[in-house]
Amino acid sequence: MADQQQLEQLFQEYGYRDFRWVDPREVVIAQWVRTKCTFGCGNYGRNATCPPNVPSVAEVRQLFSEYTTAAIFHFRQQVADPEDRHAWTRGVNQGLVKLERGLFLEGYYKAFLLCCDSCFLCGDDCTGDRKTCKVPRQARPSPESMAIDVFATVRKLGFPIEVLTGYSQAMNRYAILLVE
C-alpha cells in the first residue's frame, strides 16, 4: 500500500494541492462512456491515446483492480479563446507526466497517470497511432478514453462538475493517478 503522507508531500513539491484520495474500485468504469467516446468525440481514431488505441473496458476494469490507491486531481480554468484550452491542458498534462515519473523514481514503480484531457502533446501533429507516437513515454490516455464516468466519480468525492454550455464558462478538469 502506498504511503499517502509521502505521496502528498511529493504532490505538493510538484505543485499539486487540489486532489482527493479514492479507492480505485470506487472509480466508475462504464461501457456507455467508451461508446460515447467512440461515437461522439472528434479525437476517435485521430489521437494515439484515444480509442481504438486504448485497452478495452474489461481491461480497464482489470487494470483498476490491480491498484489499492488512486488520487484524483482537480484543475479549474477559464479560457478566452476555445482553442486555448488545448495549450492549457497540454501544459497541465506535461506537469502531471513529470509527477508520474518522479513517483516512479521514488519507488512507486506502478504509478500510472490518466491525463486531464486528450493528450495534445503533439498538437495537430499526432500520428493517431500508438506504434508511431512521437512521445510514447509521455503520452497518456484521458479518463474518458479509458471508459471512466468522470461525472459520477468526482461527484462522489464532492468535486464540482457540470455540463458546460459555452466556452466562456470555467472548466473543471480531472486527472487520475493510480499509484501503489
pLDDT tens digits for range 131-171: 877 777 888 999 999 999 999 999 999 999 999 888 888 99
Please name the amino acid found at residue 6. Q
Helices 84-105 & 4-13 angle (0-180, nearest 10):
130
Which pairs count as long-range contacts for 3-11, CB under 8 Å and 24+ apart, including other chains?
4/69, 6/106, 7/69, 7/71, 7/103, 7/108, 7/179, 10/99, 10/102, 10/103, 10/106, 11/71, 11/99
What is the rounded distance in angstroms from the CA atom of residue 16 to the CA atom of residue 18?
A: 6
Closest to 167 in 3D by CA, of 75, 80, 76: 80
Give me the pLDDT at residue 40, please. Answer: 86
Query: What would the pLDDT profile of 17-27 be if each residue is shown by its tens digit?
Result: 999 999 999 99
121 pLDDT higher than 80? no
Confidence of residue 48 (pLDDT cuts 50, 70, 90): confident
1 pLDDT higher than 70? no
* Residue 143 · residue 173 · CB < 8 Å: no
Instruction: List the domain boundaries for the chain.
Output: 4-179
* Residue 70 · residue 11 · CB < 8 Å: no
Closest to 94 in 3D by CA, of 127, 128, 71, 123: 123
Q: What is the mean pLDDT of the chain?
A: 91
Closest to 117 in 3D by CA, of 155, 77, 81: 77
What is the rounded distance in angstroms from the CA atom of residue 77 to the CA atom of residue 61?
A: 30
**Burial class of 13 by CB neighbour count within 10 A (0 to 12, 13 to 18, 19+):** exposed
